[in-house]
Amino acid sequence: MSPALKPAPPFRRLAPIGLALLVLPLLLTAPLRPAAPQERLQRTAPSGPHPPMYRYFHPERTLDPTALIGTTLLAMAALSGARRLLPRRVPLPLVRGTISGGIVLMGWEAVSALGLVNPVLLPPPTLVLTKLAVYWQLGWLQAHALATLWRLALSFLLAFASAVPLGILMGHLPWCAHFLEPVIHLLRVIPAPAWLPLSILWFGLGNASAIFITWMGIFFPILINTLAAVQRIEPAQVETVLTFGGSRWDVMWQVTLPSAAPEILTGTRIGLGIGWIVLLAAENAATLPQAGLGWLILIAQTWLDTPVMMAGLMTICAAAFLMDLGLRQVDKRFALWKY
């Protein structure tokens, strides 16, 4: 076959070349001026008293970019090799997610090292991870994360405990649904953050106002999904249980909950995603005591402390991802009838 007719090389052959082109400039330019981002941040940093559990500081040492790149490449290679050796134990989405995340991380570091963006606007991941580690050692990151998770957990429990019974009741009693559905559909179209001014008037500045609007954000997706699932239950299923001497409680445990559980879990996942958005908006509005990931991001923004802002966002991303992953595992294990 002539060279003109040779097929183009596959993606697997081009991927190492592209990865080398991405990493090589970083390795060449990273040692030149490792303190440049810190110097730029120091020139633009404001001064003044610090609030509790926050300090604006410049670390004397940051993570070595070469070590970060090497660790990332090692993790990508290890997972890829483990996938080939144990294809049933190592899920393919985990491998692909690690590779895509590693490429983003290395590209982020390369852009920062080459000076293509203002370090105040986009600090290098080495500086972000360094400040995240310092806040973790001081215990401040855990305190802010626990404050946010406590508010989210309480809001979720209240929303789940009120939405699921109400959805089941409306699904089994058509007259109840006829009375309540118009009000529910009118209220659910109002964005939950729009309730923030009223919640401050009703409950004052503090946890209660944030928990209220977070409950509003989580409540309606769970309620709508529960109601839709119960309304789709075949009447023949209910009649079969009653015909064989079952009670209404038997219908509840043997028909309603097993049939509606997949939809309830879907509504729970959607509601938790909305709950994160609403709660962080409430914390950003400074309606809470000085604790929480949203409040940490807000106060870091006033100090132009972009690395701490990015560290807070990374913590939120990790917590939300783990919660959604747990719900997906529950969906797979306890909702097998869905499939």
Domain range summary for the chain, segments of one domain joined by +: 7-30+62-117, 140-338
Fill in the amino acid letter for 212: F
pLDDT at 41 > cutoff 60: no
Supply 173's token pair: 């009693």
Q: Say what percent of the chain tops pLDDT 90.
A: 13
What is the spatial distance between Cα 268 and Cα 157, in angstroms, rounded to a whole number? 11
**Whole-number mean pLDDT of the chain?**
77
Neighbouring C-beta atoms of residue 198, cutoff 10 Å? 12
Burial of 75 (0-12, 13-18, 19+ CB in 10 A): middle
pLDDT at 60 over 60: yes
Tallying the residues shown for the chain, one arrives at 339
Q: Which two tokens stand for residue 146?
A: 């626990």
Dig out the tokens for 124 from the structure: 């290098």
Give residue-wise pLDDT tens across range 164-180. 999 988 888 888 888 88
pLDDT higher than threshold 50 for residue 272:
yes
**CA distances from residue 56 to 61, 134, 203 in whole angstroms, order as listed:** 15, 12, 33
- Report yes or no: 177 and 170 within 8 Å, Cβ to Cβ: yes
Select from 3.40.190.100, 1.40.20.10, 3.40.50.1820, 1.10.3720.10 the CATH code of 140-338: 1.10.3720.10
Burial of 298 (C-beta count, 10 Å sphere; 0-12/13-18/19+) = middle
52 or 24, greater pLDDT: 52
Distance CA 262, CA 326 (A): 14
Q: Give the rounded distance of the alpha carbon of 84 from its chain centre.
A: 30
The full DSSP string for 147-168 is HHHHHHHHHHHHHHHHHHHHHH
Give the closest residue to 265 by CA, choosing from 217, 307, 328, 218: 328
Q: Tokens 């991802």 sit at which residue?
A: 321
Report pLDDT for 52.
66
Whether 223 shows a pLDDT value over 90: the answer reads yes
Rounded CA-CA distance 212/148 in Å is 14
